[in-house]
Every structure is written in structure tokens, then in C-alpha cells.
């Protein structure tokens, strides 16, 4: 198959191509690069450390907000993201996520993520009807299930037999320069100096799109489609695939 992934789907696609390269003809992944196993710490620990480092290395205003944030979190260990999302309401929370274009990771400051009635201007590619649909869907299930998927990232340890394994499937990686994942500590060097290719020898190209956030497949749908289509033409379907 020709595989395309975005966000969590990108992580699944990376591992599909590592576990079963015989099943993947080629791969286009968006937003989330392949991160190899760290034998010294677990994924959730790494993410916490990266967030603290990223905020502490940013401008003074962000550093002050971060200090307040982590003091607040330490005093309120019972805090969970589920409660903050419930306070904001599904519509407001999703508007904030879809319109996030700051050059820093997403985090919750002490004062919270704003108010339920906050006016948020939607991007040209996102309509109120889209938000209505997404909100009605998540209101049926809530966010706890999806959030638990992130809380269980340490299940990565089940992939221990593949430590050091490479991804040799022909790959194209695309990310926006305003994507929050692009501003994780060290990510610029990881992508711009081809360090990703050390773990993904099949990497053919890295595209960093200017002025684009995390939802690049929606923000620049035409360009993304063209990138995918042109890459797929290099790996045509043959009779054996039928």
C-alpha cells in the first residue's frame, strides 16, 4: 500500500513501515517526524522535560508564564486536561486547537486557556459548520478516550524488540513552520540537518511549508494533495499489487 499519515496517524504509519516494510510501497507523513526509542527515559517523561525546556528557553514573558504554570500544576496535582476542556466547552476548545499558530508547544497557563465565550476568529479553511460537526461528534464520547491514548504513550516499551531498527520505506515528510511540533526543542536541527535520515534511511525529502500550522492538510489542501500525488507517481501500482 501507499501510506499517508498525519499527527497520531503519522506515528502509526512510521511504525507500520518499521514493523512491516513488505506491506508499504512508500510513505508520506505529515507534522510528526519519527522519534526513535530513548532507552534512558520513557516517552511521557521526555515530553514533560521537552515542555519545561522549551518554555524556559523562550522569551521572558513565556518563561514567567511557564513558571506560574508549573507552580500552579504542582499545587494542583489533581488537575487533568479533561476538566479544562469541559470548562471551556467542546466548541471553544476545538477552535483554539485548530487556530493555534504560536511558535511554542501547547501548554496550559495558570489562568487557563481562556473563557467559554471567548471570541475566536476561524481560519479561512475552517467554518462554523465544521466546528459544529466536530463538536457534536466529541460531545457524544468526550475527550478522555483520545487523551488516554497520549497518557499511554509509554506502551512504546512493547516495541523494545525493534530498538535500533530503521525505516527504509521510501518516505517524504512534510511539516509547517508554525506547527507546534516544529518548535519542540531540537526539532529544527533534527529536520534541517537531515538527522531524521539517520533513523529513516528511506527518507527522500523534507518539506517545511511557510506560514502553515499543524493542520496543514486542511490549511493547504491543494498543495498537500499535489505533494502526495507527485510522490505516489514514483511508486506506481503493479500487477503484483492486485
Please state, rounded to an integer, the average pLDDT across all residues of the chain: 83
Cα distance between residue 186 and residue 7, in whole Å: 18
Strand order in the sheet with 2-6: 2-6, 26-30, 171-176, 203-209
Single residue among 103, 131, 153 that ends a domain in this structure = 153
Instruction: Check residues 7 and 152 and name the one with the higher pLDDT.
Output: 7
Q: Write down the catalytic residue from 182, 190, 214, 227.
A: 214
Active site residue 150: yes
- Pair 30, 217: CB distance under 8 Å: yes
Q: Could you tell me if residue 138 is inside a domain? A: yes
- Domain assignment of residue 195, given as a range: 2-36+164-241
Single residue among 130, 153, 176 that ends a domain in this structure = 153
Question: What is the per-residue pLDDT across 116-148, written as a single tens digit (0 to 9) for each?
Answer: 889 999 999 999 999 999 999 999 999 888 888
Say yes or no: 194 and 118 in one domain. no
pLDDT number for residue 240: 57
Say yes or no: 67 and 24 in one domain. no
Phi then psi for residue 205, to 5 deg, are -160, 145
pLDDT number for residue 89: 93
pLDDT number for residue 171: 98
If DSSP states are collapsed to H, E and C, what string results for the chain? CEEEEECHHHHHHHHHHHHCHHHCCEEEEECCCCCCCCCCCCHHHHHHHHHHHHHHHCCHHHHHHHHHHHHHHHHCCCCCHHHHHHHHCHHHHHHHHHCCCCCCCCCCCCCCCCCCCCCCCCCCCCCHHHHHHHHHHHHHHCCHHHHHHHHCHHHHHHHHHHCCCCCCCCEEEEEECCCHHHHCCCHHHHHHCCCHHHHCCCEEEEEEECCCCCCHHHHCHHHHHHHHHHHHCCCCCCHHHC
pLDDT number for residue 50: 61
Active site residue 235: no
pLDDT number for residue 140: 93
pLDDT number for residue 91: 95
Cα distance between residue 169 and residue 203, in whole Å: 8
Question: What is the per-residue pLDDT across 189-238, written as a single tens digit (0 to 9) for each?
Answer: 899 877 999 999 999 999 999 999 999 999 999 999 999 999 999 998 77
- For the cut 80, the answer to whether the pLDDT of residue 69 exceeds it is no
Lowest mean pLDDT segment, chosen from 37-41, 69-73, 226-230: 69-73
pLDDT above 70 as % of the chain: 79
pLDDT number for residue 65: 46
Q: Write down the catalytic residue from 132, 150, 205, 229.
A: 150
pLDDT above 90 as % of the chain: 51
- For the cut 80, the answer to whether the pLDDT of residue 46 exceeds it is no
- For the cut 80, the answer to whether the pLDDT of residue 107 exceeds it is no
Q: Name residue, grid cell 514573558.
A: 61
pLDDT number for residue 186: 83
Active site residue 7: yes
- Pair 177, 210: CB distance under 8 Å: yes
Say yes or no: 21 and 48 in one domain. no
Instruction: Check residues 174 and 144 and name the one with the higher pLDDT.
Output: 174
Number of domains in the chain: 2
Cα distance between residue 14 and residue 167, in whole Å: 8
Say yes or no: 47 and 149 in one domain. yes
Say yes or no: 60 and 149 in one domain. yes
Say yes or no: 47 and 144 in one domain. yes
Say yes or no: 55 and 147 in one domain. yes
- For the cut 60, the answer to whether the pLDDT of residue 57 exceeds it is no
| Residue 21, domain CATH | 3.40.50.1820
Say yes or no: 126 and 211 in one domain. no
Give the pLDDT band (50/70/90) at residue 239: low
Q: Could you tell me if residue 16 is inside a domain? A: yes
Closest by Cα among 232, 186, 226, 197 to 209? 226
Say yes or no: 51 and 92 in one domain. yes
Amino acid at each position: 500500500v501507499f501510506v499517508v499519515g498525519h499527527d497520531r496517524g503519522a506515528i502509526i504509519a512510521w511504525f507500520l513501515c518499521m514493523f512491516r516494510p513488505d506491506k508499504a510501497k512508500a510513505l508520506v507523513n505529515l507534522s510528526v517526524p519519527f522519534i526513535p526509542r530513548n532507552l534512558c527515559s520513557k516517552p511521557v517523561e521526555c515530553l514533560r522535560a521537552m515542555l519545561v525546556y522549551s518554555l524556559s528557553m523562550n522569551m521572558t514573558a513565556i518563561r514567567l508564564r511557564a513558571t506560574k504554570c508549573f507552580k500552579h500544576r504542582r499545587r494542583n496535582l489533581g488537575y487533568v486536561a479533561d476538566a479544562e476542556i469541559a470548562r471551556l466547552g467542546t466548541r471553544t476548545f476545538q477552535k483554539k486547537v485548530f487556530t493555534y499558530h504560536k511558535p511554542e508547544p501547547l501548554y496550559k497557563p495558570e489562568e487557563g486557556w481562556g473563557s467559554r465565550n471567548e471570541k475566536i476568529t476561524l481560519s479561512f479553511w475552517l467554518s462554523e459548520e465544521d466546528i459544529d460537526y466536530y463538536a457534536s461528534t466529541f460531545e457524544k464520547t468526550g475527550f478522555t478516550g483520545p487523551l488516554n491514548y497520549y497518557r499511554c504513550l509509554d506502551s512504546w516499551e512493547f516495541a523494545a524488540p525493534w530498538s535500533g531498527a530503521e525505516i527504509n520505506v521510501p518516505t517524504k515528510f512534510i511539516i509547517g513552520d508554525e506547527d507546534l511540533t516544529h518548535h519542540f526543542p531540537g526539532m529544527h536541527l533534527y529536520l534541517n540537518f537531515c538527522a531524521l535520515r539517520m533513523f529513516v534511511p528511506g527518507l527522500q525529502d523534507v518539506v517545511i511549508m511557510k506560514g502553515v500550522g499543524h493542520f496543514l492538510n486542511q490549511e493547504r489542501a491543494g498543495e498537500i494533495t499535489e505533494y502526495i500525488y507527485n510522490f505516489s507517481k514514483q511508486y506506481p501500482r503493479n500487477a503484483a499489487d492486485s
